[in-house]
Amino acid sequence: MSDLTELHRSWFAALDTELEGALEVRRRLHADPHLSGQEEPTSLQVEAALGIPMQRIAETGRFVRTGPSDGPSVLLRAELDALPVTEATGVAFASPTGRMHACGHDVHLAALVAVVRAAAGLDLPLGLLAVLQPREESYPSGALDVIGSGLITDEQVSAAIGAHVHPGVPPGQVATGAGVVNAAADEIEIVLTGDGGHGAYPEHAADPVAALGHIVLGLPEVVRHTVSPMRPATVSVGHVQAGEPSANVLPSQARLLATMRTTDARDREALPRQVRRLAEHQAMAYGVHAEVRITAGEPVLYNDPDLVDRVDAWLEHTGVEPTEPMRSLGADDFSFFGELVPSVMCFVGVRVAGHQEDPTPLHHPRFLPVDEAVGDVARALVAGYLAAVELHHRQPPTTP
């Protein structure tokens, strides 16, 4: 235990000297963002900033292991991808390309650079496995591809740590929270087909548009009649499409896309069945045919309670206040790691533009965490590593 306290002290001291350089890295990454699947230039920049060769993973991703080269390791993840958002922050290092780091991934990458560089020369008890993960914002999931490469077994990963900036958490505080903190996210596609025709003669045609309208309105009812109101779940329709822009043609096809969010395995299993039933019976009532496809996405994001206790203790030890858990029906593919090893996602409070009560949200063209965010994310990652070492050795949480 005292060894870890000493490691913590030296690591934090080294972090202080690395942070200035990390801020520069953050600005460079922010100015040149790349979309999911096209993150190669970002990986190259991070690799150069780390100053050590990394190995390729999941196409555009990278990883590197430092500390003991054999035995168990602790995985620290940062995401590489940006979003198709036109930046409106007005800062000197704003992206001019119509792509933007509007989810703070530039901050996470810079923090991971600082953490790994600061660890050089320290006597780490377990391997530190830094992973630059591609495609967090899109499918196919980059996390799933990292796992599919065999990294978790090859490197004997004993725990995985993630940290994500969050404007809903007070600045200077970190929200962990045991159990489910994000939802499972699956995609629903419903396609209705029937005989279209003339809008003036609906009696001679089937009408997929009317059927689709009833399905859209019926989906919240399906949730209400399938899921206990004590368990968070929702289905939201994000896209409907039917026919050409014509007022008097009844189209022969209509389609919707919806996201299904659940927090309990029972609901994740039962809801698709009930959605299918609604779609098929509504279609039947209108004389059209329904095809329902459910594409599985991320599982629930589950923070391991034993790991959370230890992370919170190290955060307090560091002078960071662990705060109320940040639970939502958002989703993050970091959850795939949590299916295999104990993991924790730390939501790190950051100051952003806007009012304290109504801060600029993630994915917004003006979302820009202040510089301090880099150090706060780095400290959360180090707290996570130390907690994972304790968990591996079955040591009790440190006393703050």
Residues in contact with Zn ion by the rule CB under 5 A? 103
Report the nearest approach of Zn ion to the CB of residue 359 (Å). Answer: 16
Report the nearest approach of Zn ion to the CB of residue 81 (Å). Answer: 8
Report the nearest approach of Zn ion to the CB of residue 285 (Å). Answer: 41
Report the nearest approach of Zn ion to the CB of residue 20 (Å). Answer: 25
Radius of gyration (C-alpha) of the chain in whole angstroms: 24
Q: How many CA atoms lie within 13 A of 279 on its CB side?
A: 24
- C-beta closer to Zn ion: residue 103 or 350: 103
CA–CA distances in Å: residue 136 to residues 79, 213, 272, 367: 6, 32, 24, 18
Structure tokens at 109: 């990458």
Nearest Cα to Cα of residue 146 among 130, 128, 133: 133
Q: What are the DSSP calls for 305-355, one per residue?
A: HHHHHHHHHHHHHTT-EEES----S---TTHHHHTTS-EEEEEEE---SB-
Q: Which of 252-263 are b and which e, b meaning 16 or more Cβ less than 10 Å from the residue's Cβ?
A: bbbbbbbbbbbb
257 - beta bridge partners? 189, 239
- C-beta closer to Zn ion: residue 158 or 176: 176
Residue 383's Cβ-count burial label (10 Å; 0-12, 13-18, 19+) is buried
Cβ–Cβ < 8 Å for 251, 180? no
- C-beta closer to Zn ion: residue 103 or 152: 103
- C-beta closer to Zn ion: residue 166 or 276: 166
- In angstroms, the CA 318 to CA 382 distance is 10
Report the nearest approach of Zn ion to the CB of residue 105 (Å). Answer: 6
Report the nearest approach of Zn ion to the CB of residue 61 (Å). Answer: 15
- C-beta closer to Zn ion: residue 36 or 398: 36
Report the nearest approach of Zn ion to the CB of residue 164 (Å). Answer: 6
- C-beta closer to Zn ion: residue 82 or 278: 82
Report the nearest approach of Zn ion to the CB of residue 297 (Å). Answer: 15
Cβ–Cβ < 8 Å for 172, 349? yes
Report the nearest approach of Zn ion to the CB of residue 304 (Å). Answer: 21
Report the nearest approach of Zn ion to the CB of residue 136 (Å). Answer: 6
- C-beta closer to Zn ion: residue 143 or 147: 143
- In angstroms, the CA 55 to CA 64 distance is 6
- C-beta closer to Zn ion: residue 103 or 163: 103
- In angstroms, the CA 351 to CA 311 distance is 22
DSSP character for 147? H
- C-beta closer to Zn ion: residue 81 or 309: 81
Q: What are the DSSP calls for 351-391, one per residue?
A: --SB-SSSBPPTT-TT----THHHHHHHHHHHHHHHHHHHH
> CB nearest Zn ion: which residue?
103
The number of residues in the chain equals 400
- C-beta closer to Zn ion: residue 103 or 380: 103
- In angstroms, the CA 64 to CA 98 distance is 31
